[in-house]
Structure 1
Amino acid sequence: MQVEGIVSDILDSMRKTSKARFSAHRRLNSHNIKSLMIVIFYSTVLLLTSIAEVLDFKVDQAVFSVNTFKLIQISLALVILIFSSIITYANYAVRAEKFHQCGLEINGLIRTHELNLSSGKSNINLVNLKYNEILKRYDNHSYIDYVNSKKGLSLDKIHHNLKDNATYLILMALLISYTLKSLTNLV
């Protein structure tokens, strides 16, 4: 294989890895946001049920017994505990930031190499060595990140993902609002 082919293969690998790292960043950020929304939602519902209890909320025996109401509160507390533990253990935000930093470093190395290549000062062995050093400092991305990076995320898809998160927030706000309204009507 000619030197130009080897250089091309290394740069191609670097570009693919960089895209996959940015894909991992987006995926983990999305997991982090959605997990936090779930915890916030269940915490709010638990808070509302506790407030209703303090305000001596009269439970319609046909709908809920007092024991069922308390069981709901315990279940909500358990869900919050489980999701909080998952979020803490998964460390989505920190891992996402590390993938982003790795992608930035690889892109910087690609740009430096391309600039040096245009001025005739490029050393592919040094570029490959630095690339491998970058890879050793960070965790590897998942296969799904590679697949997503191959598909490529257009601006339309990114906008759609943002709309999904916004829709999720709006639906949660409406559900909380409806729950509050229902509680105030019953008290």
Structure 2
Amino acid sequence: MTVGAVLLLTGIFIILMGAISTAIMVWFGFRRPEYRKEHFTGRTTGTVERMSNFYSNNIRVPLVSYTVEGQTYKVAGPRFAGSTTVTFNVGHSQLLSSSSNITTDGELPAVVKMKGSRYAAQNAMAARYPVGKTVDVFYDPAAPKHAFVERDAPIPKTVAALLVAVCGAVTATGLVMAIIGGLILAH
């Protein structure tokens, strides 16, 4: 296989992967949050059954059951848009005491900020969502099994825009490779 053919085929592959990645990033970063705002208009209360096996940004979230028109559904949440952890170790000793910005009441942060380890945030989630606690659940009336707990946590717009730009750059790189490969094959 010639260099031109390799460049052309590799470029086409990168274009496809970049275009698919761009579409996914546009959906999750921009279209999905708007869709959820427009369609998740139903509101009910749910009950915390237990901590689920689902993790959102390294934080285990509760499993909540809720009922809509006599049908019971389950959702894991609330979810987080991101998390940051600050640690400071010297030797085998951690110098920061563990803490997080998750509190037992009040507004739940979209981004979890932790000092020390994630266990403080995990313990705060368990304290905030004990078994039997009643929480708000928002759902799509046309498809009640699609829901979220307390509040939605979409990817921040700046992060989504950066990811779309990176995926677009990958697509453009593939396009350049395909053009160069095509030009080499034409000569």
Q: Which has the higher helix share?
A: 1
TM over 0.5: no
Relative CO higher for 1 or 2, CA cutoff 8 Å, sep ≥ 6? 1
The normalised TM-score by structure 1 is 0.38
Q: Which has the higher strand share?
A: 2
